[in-house]
Amino acid sequence: MTVNQNGSEKKRKKGNSGRTGKVWLAGAGPGDAELLTVKAAELIERADVIVYDALISAELLSRIPRDTETIYVGKHAGKHPVPQKEINQILVREAEKGKNVLRLKGGDPFVFGRGGEELEMLVQADIPFEVVPGITSSVAVPAYAGIPVTHRDYTSSFHVITGHARKDGKLNIDFASLVRLNGTLVFLMSVSSMEMILKGLLDAGMDPDMPAAVLERGTTAQQRRVTATVRTLKEAADRAEICTPAIILVGKVCALAEELHWAEDRILGGRQFLLTRPRQNLSALAKRLRELGAQVIEMPAIHTEPISPNELLRCALAQFRERDCGKWLVFTSPIGVAVFFDALKEMKADLRNVLGGKGTVRIGAIGSATASVLEAHGLFPDAVPETYSAGELGKELAELSQPGEHVLIARAEKGSEDLIPPLTEAGLTAEDIPLYRTVYEVNPVLKETVTDMLESGEIDAVTFTSASTVRGFVRAMGEMDYSRIRAVCIGEQTARAAAEYGMQTETAAQASMDAMTEKIVELYGNCR
């Protein structure tokens, strides 16, 4: 509680809703989305509006929930960034509407992040705030390059310095003091002033053979390291065409990278994948790829909307109970299973009642993922085809049934047409009940970033786990050159859909996340 001079609680701004708005000034870490703090990750989930700038990676953007408003205040290609004053005003304006505002900044918000200025403005406007420190690039980027910023044998201090030149083009750095300190020097915002910095150090008496490094896009799949000496670094960096964001590191510890490098040596180190998936799916694949060192952008290109209330389902289930014959209840996606059980709950329909009428009930699932969600609900499927495809499922059900049996298919609106013909040909009756519909969409900012990344070849491959995610992806991305995309697909049907748009396709040996991971490692893994 803030107490003012009169001893009473300080009045905080309230929006029209009567709710008090608040700002969280949070660091997003240096790039690798897993270097987000637990607190920042939670705030991304629950903020009403997120104000962010250029250092926030696509991997992080893809974590922002669909309904959260986002305001981009960084540089757009060819345009100037939003002036600081305007950013301050945006924060105040949004908080005054009564919103929970997350101001997300690269690294740590107080390390050359102008976080202090933003807070001063909030204090003036009497807006409550919290600060969430982040992992700063000044320590994390060297760490991912295999460079400890301190080491007992070489240095007992490290110093973080801005290399940003003043308006007159000069640097405001006391080089003589820096050289005397004999510690590790970390220069941020220093690519364009590299020559001046290195000259400043040499003129102040630094050993020209002192190890030095420039580290570009550290902690991401694109990270690059150039190691040299203070005398040779500029030339080496030019040869490598180093661009911003990068840091310059000077000190004996730089030489340790040769021995201690690790990030790019991980099985999928230096690789970046785009995972398309329905938003509601748990991303087991993303977790596995990250564990192997890959950077993973999860782009939910399709989103499902349950049909609710579902009168058709209610009637179909009532009739299903009464049918006195062999019966199948069939599911074709994990989401379908989840929506089915949600619908039962909404209708207050007890499973014993639904399945317990006349005749025997068997359960069918299109693949192992759907089967495992059914199992979590206590239903162990009687039919799961070896190959993940609607046609195969139809054939397998037909083989296991006698003519006259009934099949209730609970699935997406406009499901695959291949499922029903094998059933009717075998003399079964089929009833197709839509549980949910698919909506195609993607956050426009993420779309722009991802399009650029695909076109520049920064994304090694895109994964698809169903033909509908291929179509969702294409509908969401719109016009682009799909022939440049390497698609890793879960099965033949998915691969065919990707090939229709001209993508280069690879198919996993089986329809499972393990097989997808294996395929990706086979195609993109570093052999050590």
Distances (CA, A) of 450 to 174, 212, 216: 42, 33, 20
Q: Using CB under 6 A, pick the residue from 43, 95, 188, 503 that binds ligand SAH.
A: 188
- Token pair 């002036």 in the structure block, residue: 83
Order of strands across the sheet that contains 246-250: 158-162, 184-188, 246-250, 211-216, 224-229
Q: Which residue, 105 or 277, has its beta carbon nearer to ligand SAH?
A: 105
Cis peptide preceding 245, ω within 30 of 0: yes
Radius of gyration for the alpha carbons in the chain, expressed in angstroms and rounded: 28
Residues 49-78 that bind ligand SAH (CB under 6 A): 55
Compute the least distance from the CB of residue 376 to ligand SAH, in Å: 39
Compute the least distance from the CB of residue 218 to ligand SAH, in Å: 4
Q: Using CB under 6 A, pick the residue from 108, 118, 298, 405 that binds ligand SAH.
A: 108
Give the total of residues touching ligand SAH (CB under 6 A): 24
Q: Which residue, 159 or 279, has its beta carbon nearer to ligand SAH?
A: 159
Q: Using CB under 6 A, pick the residue from 13, 217, 277, 519 that binds ligand SAH.
A: 217
Residues 224-263 that bind ligand SAH (CB under 6 A): 244-247
Q: Which residue, 242 or 485, has its beta carbon nearer to ligand SAH?
A: 242
Q: Per-residue x/- mask for ligand SAH, residues 124 to 143, rule CB under 6 A?
A: ------------xxx--x--
With CB atoms as reference, the residue minimizing the distance to ligand SAH is 107
Whole-number Å distance between alpha carbons of 126 and 392:
64
Compute the least distance from the CB of residue 60 to ligand SAH, in Å: 12
Compute the least distance from the CB of residue 113 to ligand SAH, in Å: 4
- For residues 390 and 331, the answer to whether their CB atoms sit within 8 Å is no
Closest listed residue to residue 63, CA positions, set 271, 296, 273:
296
DSSP state of 465: S
Compute the least distance from the CB of residue 260 to ligand SAH, in Å: 18
Q: Using CB under 6 A, pick the residue from 111, 363, 383, 513 that binds ligand SAH.
A: 111
Whole-number Å distance between alpha carbons of 354 and 319:
10
- Token pair 């722009």 in the structure block, residue: 448
Query: Which listed range, 210-218, 280-288, 346-354, 509-517, lies at the site for ligand SAH (CB under 6 A)?
Result: 210-218
Does residue 189 belong to the site contacting ligand SAH (CB under 6 A)?
A: yes
Q: Using CB under 6 A, pick the residue from 21, 107, 334, 525 that binds ligand SAH.
A: 107
Whole-number Å distance between alpha carbons of 497 and 327:
32
Q: Which residue, 34 or 69, has its beta carbon nearer to ligand SAH?
A: 34
Whole-number Å distance between alpha carbons of 129 and 454:
38
Does residue 197 belong to the site contacting ligand SAH (CB under 6 A)?
A: no
Q: Per-residue x/- mask for ligand SAH, residues 87 to 106, rule CB under 6 A?
A: ------------------xx
Please name the residues in contact with 389: beta carbons below 8 A apart, sequence gap of 6 or more: 366, 418, 491, 492, 493
Q: Using CB under 6 A, pick the residue from 113, 142, 251, 364 that binds ligand SAH.
A: 113
Compute the least distance from the CB of residue 131 to ligand SAH, in Å: 13
Q: What is the identity of the amino acid at 143?
A: A
Whole-number Å distance between alpha carbons of 37 and 56:
14
Compute the least distance from the CB of residue 212 to ligand SAH, in Å: 15
Q: Using CB under 6 A, pick the residue from 142, 200, 211, 218 that binds ligand SAH.
A: 218
Does residue 334 belong to the site contacting ligand SAH (CB under 6 A)?
A: no
**Helices 284-291 and 513-524: angle between axes, nearest 10 degrees:** 30
Supply the DSSP string of 99-147, one letter for each residue. Answer: -EEEEEESB-TTSSS-HHHHHHHHHHTT--EEEE----HHHHHHHHTT-
Q: Which residue, 48 or 108, has its beta carbon nearer to ligand SAH?
A: 108
Whole-number Å distance between alpha carbons of 431 and 321:
14
Compute the least distance from the CB of residue 361 to ligand SAH, in Å: 55
Start-to-end C-alpha separation, the chain: 57
- Token pair 């698809």 in the structure block, residue: 464
Tally of helices (H runs) and strands (E runs) in the chain: 20, 19
Residues 272-311 that bind ligand SAH (CB under 6 A): none
Q: Which residue, 109 or 415, has its beta carbon nearer to ligand SAH?
A: 109
Residues 4-33 that bind ligand SAH (CB under 6 A): 30-31
Whole-number Å distance between alpha carbons of 120 and 88:
9
Q: Which residue, 248 or 489, has its beta carbon nearer to ligand SAH?
A: 248
Distances (CA, A) of 275 to 356, 428, 484: 40, 38, 16
The set of catalytic residues is 53, 75
Whole-number Å distance between alpha carbons of 249 and 198:
11
Q: Using CB under 6 A, pick the residue from 112, 328, 331, 524 that binds ligand SAH.
A: 112
Give the residues lining the site for ligand SAH (CB under 6 A): 30-31, 55, 105-108, 111-113, 136-138, 141, 188-189, 215, 217-219, 244-247
